[in-house]
Structure 1
Amino acid sequence: MAGELVGPWVRRRPDALAALTRAHDEDPSPPVRKKAGWYAPGGPAHRRTVPRPARAVRR
């Protein structure tokens, strides 16, 4: 559950990225590693939340 709370902050907070990466690599629990991997760089949730380019303003 903590991974889902921290996951959305991965792109804005280096400490959130470090925590999820560490959990993905080192946590003894397989479900925790799996969920952390979703939000870690390269994971499906991380890829899905790529910021979109700003739209041009029409005049």
Structure 2
Amino acid sequence: NWISSGKEIEIELGAKIKESLKARVDLTNPDWYVWIEVLGKKTGLSVIKPEEIVKKRVEF
């Protein structure tokens, strides 16, 4: 089974974490976010709390 996108990896990894840790999952109000970016042959992984997210509004 080939996984080609960060979103697919997030879904698969989330299911494995939930299963192995018997973790509760709340997609509307999570305690943690797991983001995966696939850029060619490189992959980036972020695991952060919601309050660590920096948001900046940009107007053009």
Which TM-score applies when normalising by structure 2?
Answer: 0.30
Higher share in strand: 2
Higher share in helix: 1
